[in-house]
Amino acid sequence: MNVSSQEEFNNMIKGVLISEDEIRAEIAKAGKLIDSFYDGSPVLLVSVLKGAFVFLADLVRAVSVPCEVDFMEAKSYFDATQSSGSVAVTRDLRQNITGRDVVIVEDIIDTGRTLSEIVKLLRARSPRSLRIVTLLDKPSRRVTELNADYSLFTIPDKFVIGYGLDYGELFRNLPYIGEFNEDFCK
């Protein structure tokens, strides 16, 4: 996506849905919850790229149990504001998760298709436990039975950007969750 000016970039943001302070407070709670799940046992935090990398960076600092991180990348949007319905895993884990406690760190659960495919793939590898922590949950769009073990925020059916989430690879750097002005897609 090409943006010609800061003004155009700013006009593509309809408004702030969740502030930086609200995000920070909920991440602290999520870190404590993960600590309570594992009570000192090591955990592997798996970030689903690219959208969840900012969330993971802050969440890993809120967790006090020993933890490692790894990354997967999956796509279903392909530069659109609606999921394409097909999921492509474009980067897999680099380590064996058999017998390990694993937490999938997701940016947003929308239709649930992408994460359902990732969960199936990871469950087949026999982790000791597999949990899902998502920054955002959009249950009104769900087409699968998938639910997170912990959702920091439930949001309405709006296309959101910021805090790692993008439109056309832009807006990941916003420190808050904003609503994308879809008039710019027409």
Query: Which tens digit of pLDDT belongs to each residue from 66-103?
Result: 999 999 988 765 455 555 566 778 899 999 999 999 99
Q: Is 110 an annotated catalytic residue?
A: yes
Are 180 and 160 a contacting pair, CB within 8 Å? yes
Which of 110, 69, 71, 103 minimizes the C-alpha distance to 87? 110
Q: How far apart are CA 6 and CA 58, in angstroms?
A: 27
User: Which range (14-28, 75-89, 132-146) has the least confidence?
Assistant: 75-89
Point out the catalytic residue in the list 110, 149, 166, 183. Answer: 110
**CATH code for the part of the protein at 6-185:** 3.40.50.2020
Mean pLDDT of 115-122: 92
Query: Which tens digit of pLDDT belongs to each residue from 51-76?
Result: 999 999 999 999 999 999 999 988 76
Look-up of token digits 């992408």: 114
Q: How far apart are CA 89 and CA 114, in angstroms?
A: 9
Query: Which tens digit of pLDDT belongs to each residue from 28-47?
Result: 999 999 999 999 999 999 99
According to DSSP, the residues that pair with 47 across neighbouring strands are: 71, 105
Mean pLDDT of 14-41: 96
Q: List the chain domain ranges.
A: 6-185
Q: How far apart are CA 68 and CA 70, in angstroms?
A: 7
- State the distance between the two ends of the chain, measured CA to CA, in whole angstroms: 13
